[in-house]
Amino acid sequence: MIHTYRTITESQSISAECCVIGTGAGGSAAAAMLAEQGREVVLLEAGEFLQPSDFSQREEEMLPRLFYDAGARTTADGAIRVLHGHGVGGSTLHNQNLCKILPREIAEEWNIQGFSYSDFLPYLQRVETDLAVSDLTENDVNPNNRVVKRGIEALGYRGGLLRHNRVGCVRSGFCVLGCAYNAKMNAYRVYIPRAIEHGATVYANTRAVRLFWRNNRAEGIEAEVVHPQTREVLARLTIKTKAVVCSAGAIETPALLQRSGIPDPKQNIGKGLHLHPGAGVMGIFDETIMAWQGIPQSIECTEFLSFDPQENKRVWLVTASAHPVAAASFLPGFGKQHRELMQVYAQMASLSAMLHDVSEGTVRAKGNSQVVIEYHLKKDDRTQLALGLREAARILIAAGAKEVYIPMRLPLRAGSLKDVDALDIRIRDRQIAMASVHPMSSVRMGNDPDDSCCDGSGKLHRMANVFVADTSLFPTSIGIPPQVTTYAIGLWVGDHCNRILFS
């Protein structure tokens, strides 16, 4: 059953064995696992309950409904836009369906007691089965990805087709605005229905404000039912529970724990944030590309990404397309020059460089609902990102672009490989449009309670019955889109929560 702000008109107190906060990849999977094992589960979701018929494919309507702060959330210095979603299904409502599994090297580097790759692998495999993950085919490659593939092949770089979780995809290209065709095998379509089938209840438009606890044991959660447009508090919910699973994402989960005053003498909660930030390069072609049509991301270049600790290769190149409002925001400058760039929007292909970052930031709760994200790129990360942008530009030129743009405040332009090699690419704060769509590692797993927040099961070291089940748990960046790993973490944590507290 799903309750929304329309139906929760009075403050009330409810009780459940388990309360899962957040309904994205981690929360939905944790809830499904707990419910399947006979637990009575309540899910809280700050965003709306949207269905395929609500997805209008219009940016001005969907961005505020799918993203925190209408997609305008940034780091404190305004350098990086942090895009993360809300709504029943969380970020899986707007993601691009990329399915890559946690690299073995990363898990081994974590070296966490109670979390081994071999134990975790079956959870990853179950997610791949549940989400019907499959290889894309050449027919799925749209013109934007086709030119990128051409460039990768021309330069002899490593890369190829990605794996996705789509069934019934009509290749409309509006994935980022929610799938109007319900073709995403996401939290909304797979794990939330499964949890509901097993008796779970979802409260949408319901924002967890704080956990209340005593003697290192959570006793419940205070939540507010919020009107999606006015943000007015319509009612308050008190949920009494025996287990809490926090899955509100790497920004909201630490903020909630901080607001709750969870014991954290070393102030580890909110520390170690990785943003997996990225920036794009645009190439102008003679041919019509119409990058917004078709499956947005089907080709990757892995030439500059390695998880071998001996190699310092940390950029992943993948196509990036955007509908006009987002595209205009990411293009550099303003005025006549910007207008002229937008007039060749249909001939534009784009490729983004995403950084497997070692820089660490922090998340800090501010008031009842705000967060402050501090994050600054280290020198080596800046060098890696600059390398990624240069290589992205080279790929587009090799694919036949007549001109490439690196969207600095003072745009860098090049028309040949030689010009690209000569570009002076320096990553400075607020000089280039950067975005983060995969924030992670803000409530990290680890062996030492003085240097981490959770153990290998996802349970907070200093609480008896509070678990974390989202990207916050990762001790480092995982360098790839985290969707499959996050679902698997949800299943893992749900399973361990049940074993530890209820078996």
Partner 1 sequence: VVALASTVSFYFLRSPKPLTAPALRHLKTRAAYVFAAVYGAITGYDEPESKARALEFLDNLLPTFERKTQRDLLLALFLLEHGTWVKGFWGRFSRLSPEDQAVYLKMWEGGTVTEHFIFDGIRSLCFLVCYADEKQWDAIGYTGPLVQRRSQSHLPPFHALRDPANNVSMALQESLGADFPAAVSRNQHPPSSI
Rg (CA), the chain: 22
Closest approach of partner 1 to the CB of residue 280, in Å: 16
Helix then strand then coil, in percent of the chain rounded to 5, is 30, 25, 45
What is the per-residue binding string for partner 1 in 135-154, x denoting contact by CB under 8 A? --------------------
Site for partner 1 in 238-257 (CB under 8 A): none
Dump the DSSP string for 158-206: -EEE-EE-BSS----S-GGG--TT--B-SIIIIIHHHHHHTT-EEETTE
Closest approach of partner 1 to the CB of residue 206, in Å: 12
CB atoms within 10 A of CB 229: 10
Closer of 59 and 300 to partner 1 (Cβ): 59
In this structure, are residues 251 and 84 in contact, taking their beta carbons and an 8 Å threshold?
A: yes
In this structure, are residues 400 and 147 in contact, taking their beta carbons and an 8 Å threshold?
A: yes
Alpha-carbon dihedral of residues 111, 115, 118, 120, nearest 10 degrees? -130
Residue 274 pairs in a beta bridge with 440
- Helical spans, DSSP H, in 8-157: 25-36, 59-66, 104-110, 117-130, 143-155
Closest approach of partner 1 to the CB of residue 373, in Å: 13
Closer of 34 and 420 to partner 1 (Cβ): 34
Site for partner 1 in 23-52 (CB under 8 A): 32, 36, 49, 51-52
In this structure, are residues 247 and 20 in contact, taking their beta carbons and an 8 Å threshold?
A: yes
Closer of 235 and 464 to partner 1 (Cβ): 235
3-state secondary structure of 98: strand
Q: Considering the rule CB under 8 A, would residue 231 count as an interface residue with partner 1?
A: yes
In this structure, are residues 413 and 405 in contact, taking their beta carbons and an 8 Å threshold?
A: yes
Closer of 69 and 419 to partner 1 (Cβ): 69
Site for partner 1 in 276-295 (CB under 8 A): 288, 290, 292-293
DSSP annotation of 103 reads P
Binding segment for partner 1 (CB under 8 A), chosen from 124-132, 143-151, 371-379, 462-470, is 124-132
CB contact burial 252-290 (16+ within 10 A = b; e otherwise): bbbbbbbbbebebeeebbbbbbbbbbbbbbbbbbeeebb
Among 234, 423, 500, 501, binds partner 1 (CB under 8 A): 234
Closer of 171 and 413 to partner 1 (Cβ): 171
Closest approach of partner 1 to the CB of residue 116, in Å: 14
Q: Considering the rule CB under 8 A, would residue 68 count as an interface residue with partner 1?
A: no
Q: What residue type is assigned to position 161 of the chain?
A: L
Closest approach of partner 1 to the CB of residue 122, in Å: 5
Q: Considering the rule CB under 8 A, would residue 6 count as an interface residue with partner 1?
A: yes
Closest approach of partner 1 to the CB of residue 226, in Å: 11
Closer of 269 and 341 to partner 1 (Cβ): 341
Dump the DSSP string for 7-35: T--S-EEEEEEEEEE--SHHHHHHHHHHH
Binding segment for partner 1 (CB under 8 A), chosen from 143-151, 194-202, 383-391, 436-444, is 194-202
Closest approach of partner 1 to the CB of residue 50, in Å: 8
Closer of 123 and 467 to partner 1 (Cβ): 123
Site for partner 1 in 82-121 (CB under 8 A): none
Closer of 313 and 364 to partner 1 (Cβ): 364
- For residue 283, the Cα-to-chain-centroid distance in whole angstroms is 26
Closer of 246 and 291 to partner 1 (Cβ): 291
Closest approach of partner 1 to the CB of residue 158, in Å: 32
Q: Considering the rule CB under 8 A, would residue 367 count as an interface residue with partner 1?
A: no
What is the per-residue binding string for partner 1 in 307-336, x denoting contact by CB under 8 A? ----------------xxx-xxx----xxx
Question: For residue 237, what are the contacts with CB-CB under 8 A and spacing of at least 6?
Answer: 8, 11, 12, 13, 14, 44, 203, 206, 222, 223, 224, 225
Among 55, 110, 304, 405, binds partner 1 (CB under 8 A): 55
Closer of 132 and 358 to partner 1 (Cβ): 132
Closer of 47 and 446 to partner 1 (Cβ): 47
Q: Which two tokens stand for residue 100?
A: 């890559």
Closest approach of partner 1 to the CB of residue 310, in Å: 33
Among 19, 44, 98, 196, binds partner 1 (CB under 8 A): 196
Q: What angle do CA 70, 75, 79 make, to 5 degrees?
A: 100
Among 310, 343, 422, 448, binds partner 1 (CB under 8 A): 343
Among 115, 188, 304, 467, binds partner 1 (CB under 8 A): 188
Residue 354's alpha-carbon distances to 16, 127, 209, 385, in angstroms, are 41, 24, 33, 7
**Count of residues engaged in binding partner 1, rule: CB under 8 A:** 79
Place of tokens 């490439």: 404
Closer of 320 and 491 to partner 1 (Cβ): 491
In this structure, are residues 253 and 470 in contact, taking their beta carbons and an 8 Å threshold?
A: yes
Among 68, 110, 115, 174, binds partner 1 (CB under 8 A): 174
What is the per-residue binding string for partner 1 in 453-472, x denoting contact by CB under 8 A? --------------------
